[in-house]
Amino acid sequence: MPKGVYIRTKEHNERIRLSKLGALNPMWKGDKASDHAGRCRASRRFPAPKGYERHHLDGNPRNNHPTNVLIVTRKEHMIEDGRMEKMLKYNSSLKENIEGLICPRCGSNKYHRKGWNSRAKQKYYCLCCDHIFLRPEDYKFPRTSTRPLINSQNL
């Protein structure tokens, strides 16, 4: 070993690490940490698969204890936070059986508009089962020609 080189032991490294944790760290923000910083920490600590989100049970995004964070779908998260009820109550494009439509999959009458299909027919999105559907009459294909056939004898 070269002269003047000190090799730290595992215990020494652990003492150094512990001396910089929490309030002893010069970058410690304590209660001043933002909610955004808490959500970023949660996303690093609890990776969620695509289509899933992290839900803090106590509503505090800075509390990232494993018993406080659940991995849920977007729809479940909106229901847990109460955002789904708010969306259903205030969504101006929500239609509740005004046009007599029901979802062909689940029979619900709660839906909203979801754009147009390739044949310029209105699509609807069911809020209960996430099914996208058309009006029953829009599933019928139009006739190929509406013009009467030309008889060659009349020419």
Write out pLDDT tens, residues 28-42: 777 677 888 888 888
Average pLDDT, the chain: 80
- The one-letter amino acid at 29: K
| Residue 143 pLDDT | 59
Distance CA(84)–CA(110), nearest Å, equals 12
The phi and psi torsions of 92 (rounded to 5 degrees) equal -70, -25
Distance CA(121)–CA(117), nearest Å, equals 5
Write out pLDDT tens, residues 75-133: 888 888 888 777 776 665 554 455 678 888 888 888 888 888 888 888 888 888 888 88
| Residue 10 pLDDT | 92
Model confidence pTM above 0.75: no
